[in-house]
Structure 1
Amino acid sequence: MANESRPCPCDIGDRFDYGGRGQEVQVEHIKAYVCKASASTDKAVIVIHDIFGWQLPNTRYIADMLAANGYIAICPDFFVGQEAWKLSNDWASFDDWLKTRSAGKIDKEVDVILKYLREQCGAKKIGVIGFCWGGAAVQHLMLKNPHLKTGVSLYGVIKFFEDRCSLLHPTFFIFGEKDDIIPLEQVTLLEQKLKQNCKVDYEVKVYPGQTHGFVHRKREDINPQDKPFIEEGRKDMINWLNKYL
């Protein structure tokens, strides 16, 4: 398990020096980052950030990657104005911070974003991806939201929703073999429960040697041995979305 003084290792790896190709918009009570594909499309992906919030350059990089692959990508502020976690914060206060930011209480915001995507962007087929906190939120949405077509949960914290596996939509789960916060026994148990309870397509994939956050937190140029797995994770994410959207 994670070091108790640092209960979430989302800061592993480097933040990108990246400005983003999209723009910030106001959608009712929510700020959001939007990047649109170069060609007209009716397919959109909601990107759910990790504990570092909607302005993290790494997350915007992934949103832009989705747009480059033909999707309308939107990363809303699911903390709705509350401060994202900062590396300078005291990790001893993390649990109290997290109590006011539940990955299972984003339904109101998701409904607002779905309305915006349909009415303002012309989206008809909408999926969702998320990282860590956001990955857990993806699982929550795949269990209950009928308006989303598919989801990709990247190192979503299993313990948040570990007893709920009756997914409504095809879901892809990405994990790292060396993730300190998500032990492999939790991943194995998730697979068992999905096999017993899940009636839709799903896949659980563990990437060798990878730590928490590897798909969107590491810089390939300083982690050459990880580059193939980072690229594979991103490609797998896109392929899953392409298949089900």
Structure 2
Amino acid sequence: MFEPLIYITVSVSRTDADSAGNTHRKSEEICRKPIHFLLVKLNKLSLLLRAWKTLCCRAANKEETRKYSLTVHSALIKFTNYFLRLRNWKTLLQMANEARPCPCDLGDTFDYEGKGHEVSVEHIRAYLTKPPHHTDKAIIVIHDVFGWQLPNTRYIADMLASNGYIAILPDFYKGQAPWTLCDDWATFDYWLKTRDSKNTNRETEVVLKYLKEQCHAKEIGVIGFCWGGAAVHHLMLRYSEFKAGVSIYGVIRFQETSCELKNPTFFIFAENDFFIPLDQVAELEQKLKEQCKTNFEVKIYPRQTHGFVHRKREESYPQDKPFIEEARKDMLNWLKKYI
């Protein structure tokens, strides 16, 4: 019997403890249906309706027409019930995503339109914002998995502009869709393969060229959040043009193992970041001490979670406001020190 290769699978994970008190994470499959199953159902319904139309046209009397209509009515009821079950699968899928969420919680989406404007930079789009006075200092802002159009990241770009920098926020996904909260977390690793934070050289080079030729920038830095923080690590290994870098909760598992940075880099982490364990941060800091020949700093902000610098409204989290403000001030001070 032929087995289809592609399935819709929904599973949830749970943590169990054994008699010794050790915890074990188990994954339990809720449902598994071949994708082609839906296509078969649709095809059957289409054939049935066409046959019903033909038979009704040929029917000799009302009794035969009624018999054919009852057959189709029964089939439609079964088909409706099938789609109701599909709706339940969607609910189960949402539950599964909640049980194992995307590695970056969106947090608060700012109601913010931005002070800059969008521009084309060769093959990509970008958000560009400038200070009111002339400057030759510029910062490239690298977005997180939620993409370059997230208002929160544009807010940070405008913050840089208000502090005297030309800020540009390019679309490093090159038109590909960013991650959304509706996406299935089980597909995240596959999604990430086409959006590798280490595959950003071409976009970086065209943006550097744009800043130098169109904005007359002479001193350039780079900052990035989450996925973009990992990209900052990659770029600071390769481009001496960047006088300073700030990696803001850059996901360490996305990063390269080398720590031979070319210029000063500041690493911001959160103490309670579920996606970046503190042992990984400690290992990164040790590698930096062993390999890095330039200035660097690793700072962990107490009681903070992933995304606290740009995905939290200060007024909504008064207990976190001092740390949000401190991290932003530290970012600006680092850039001011080296650019």
Band the TM-score falls in, shorter-chain normalisation: over 0.9
Answer with 157-166 or 79-88: which moved more: 157-166
Note if contact 1:6-1:92 (Cα within 8 Å) is conserved in structure 2: no
Q: How far did residue 7 of structure 1 move?
A: 4.2
- Counting matched residue pairs gives 242
Structure 2: runs of 5 or more not aligned = 1-97
Q: Which residue of 2 aligns with 1:16?
A: 110
Q: Which residue of 1 aligns with 2:265?
A: 171
Q: Which residue of 2 aligns with 1:183?
A: 277
1:213 aligns with 2:302: no
Residues 195, 59 of structure 1: CA spacing in aligned structure 2 closer, same or farther, 3 A cutoff? same
Note if contact 1:130-1:137 (Cα within 8 Å) is conserved in structure 2: yes
Q: Which residue of 2 aligns with 1:51?
A: 145
Q: 2:330 aligns with which of 236, 239, 243?
A: 236
Give a deviation string over 1:88-145, Cα, whole Å, max 9, x none. 1111111111110000001000000000000000100000000000000000000111
Distance 1:162 1:115 in 2: 25
Q: Which residue of 1 aligns with 2:227?
A: 133
Q: Which residue of 2 aligns with 1:104?
A: 198
Please give the TM-score of this superposition, normalised by the length of structure 1.
Answer: 0.97
The residue type equivalent to 1:41 in the other structure is T
Distance 1:124 1:112 in 2: 15
Q: Which residue of 2 aligns with 1:146?
A: 240
Please give the TM-score of this superposition, normalised by the length of structure 2.
Answer: 0.70
Q: 1:93 aligns with which of 187, 206, 209?
A: 187
Note if contact 2:234-2:256 (Cα within 8 Å) is conserved in structure 1: no
Distance 1:160 1:29 in 2: 25
Q: Which residue of 1 aligns with 2:100?
A: 5
C-alpha RMSD of matched pairs (Å): 1.1
**Bigger radius of gyration:** 2
Note if contact 2:102-2:181 (Cα within 8 Å) is conserved in structure 1: no
Distance 1:205 1:4 in 2: 30
The residue type equivalent to 1:71 in the other structure is Y
1:161 aligns with 2:255: yes
Structure with greater proportional helix content: 2
The residue type equivalent to 2:129 in the other structure is C
Give a deviation string over 1:6-27, Cα, whole Å, max 9, x none. 241231x201000000000011
Note if contact 1:37-1:67 (Cα within 8 Å) is conserved in structure 2: yes
| Percent identity (aligned) | 66
Q: How far did residue 162 of structure 1 move?
A: 5.0
Distance 1:150 1:221 in 2: 30
Distance 2:136 2:201 in 1: 22
Q: Which residue of 2 aligns with 1:199?
A: 293
